[in-house]
Structure 1
Amino acid sequence: MVVETGRHRRPASPMGRAVLVAACWLTVLAVSPYRQVSPRVHDIALLVHLGSMVIGFGAVLTVDWFGLLWLAGRRTLTDVLNTARGTHVPIWAGFAGLLASGALLGLPAGPKALAVLVIGVNGVYAAVLLRELTRHPEPPTSLLLRSGIATLISQAGWWTALILGYLNSRG
């Protein structure tokens, strides 16, 4: 392997990232029905799952809150974009934690599993939109509209996963 100094690694394409998200999601679906864990491991996995939800969804809510403040004229678009860039790692860490711990919690209900896939793929798309928004001092309306739709899809996915996860845990 040759390492060139002064060159940066090129990030994976959005399609490559979406395929990676889908592959991880499929792995959880394939592995989770066959995992027999002790009650203690299950409890730890549940704690990690809930913590990951707090981290990931909490970061998403932070970005969306700043977006609402921007719409109300109380923040600049730059504030929203900086917040989105700053929460990128916690969002994806939370998502990864949800997948990893979910593999130990058993097969999720179909709609919840689908909501998780939508969250991940939409997150890849949201990252593309973030890069596009950053390039425009005055983003075109179509780009803002696409960002708004991605935000609504994100909220619907996270809330669906949260509510269905709660209902599933209740029996």
Structure 2
Amino acid sequence: MSYVPVSRRTIRRHRESERATRRLVIALSGAAALAWLLSVALSTAVRVGGYEHNLADVLHILSLVVAFGAILLVDWHGLLWLLGRRTLADIIRLDGAATPLIWGGLAGMLATGVFLNPHLDNPMTDLKLAAVLVLSLNGIMLIPLMRRLAHLPPDTPFGGLTVGQRVHLLVCLAVSQACWWTAIVIGFINAEF
């Protein structure tokens, strides 16, 4: 075991950074839950038909394509990193570029979902809405880990992470994919019937 001297100032900065990240996660989780709740509540009060509904439907699907496409790209490169075909630096850079697309697409889906006249008495719709909330919170829960990974050497392999970090990434990946596919499949089933 080696001893790496760390100054008290460095330790204090690290603790302050961890506290700031926790506060950010709490604030973003609250904001995401509030945005989701507002979207669901407004969808019960707003009824549109014809052109407005079709426009909202198209914008909803475009938002889905942007957000889910970015998710698939990040997850694919994450798999390549796991297999040793990409570096951690590649993943961090791609995640930074994709994050605005993911959150912008998700915001677009929440905004346009208000005008889709959802059937909230349908258990499938409730499951879809729950999946959207969970995937939002899941993405926010990745923030602390991604910040830690950004401080690692750029060539750190997946196997070089701690067991907890690897489990955190894989669980968040599984939850993300399960929620996205659940919401997509139910959305298209509900659109057909």
After TM superposition, the score normalised by the length of structure 2 is: 0.80
* Runs of 5+ consecutive residues of structure 1 not aligned to the other structure: 1-9
The ranges of structure 1 where at least 4 consecutive aligned residues each deviate by more than 3 angstroms after the TM superposition are none
Query: What does residue range 57-96 of structure 1 map to in structure 2 within 5 Å?
Result: 57-96=68-107
Mapped partners of 2:114, 2:143: distance in 1: 25
CA distance in 2, matches of 1:101, 1:60: 20
For the residues of structure 2 that align with 1:120 and 1:82, how far apart are their CA atoms? Answer: 21
Q: Does 1:127 align with 2:149?
A: no
Instruction: Tell me the distance in 1 between the aligned counterparts of 2:127 and 2:146.
Output: 28
1:3-18 correspondence to structure 2 within 5 Å: 13-18=24-29
Q: Which amino acid aligns with 1:87?
A: A
- In structure 2, list runs of 5 or more residues that go unmatched: 1-19
CA RMSD of aligned residues (A): 1.5
Offset of residue 38 of structure 1? 2.8
- Normalised by the length of structure 1, the TM-score is 0.89
Q: In 2, distance between residues paired with 1:132 and 1:154?
A: 20
1:153 to 158, 175, 182: 175
Match of 1:42 among 33, 44, 53: 53
Equivalent residue for 2:116?
105
Q: Which amino acid aligns with 1:136?
A: L
- Whole-Å separation in 2 of the counterparts to 1:123 and 1:140: 20
After TM superposition, give the deviation of residue 72 of structure 1 in Å: 1.8
2:165 alignment partner AA: L
Contact 2:63 2:105 in 1 (8 A): yes
Q: How many residues align?
A: 162
Asked whether the 8 Å contact 2:48–2:117 carries over to 1, the reply is no
> Residue 106 of structure 1: SS of its match in structure 2?
coil
Identity %: 36
Which has the greater radius of gyration? 2
- Name the counterpart of 1:3: none
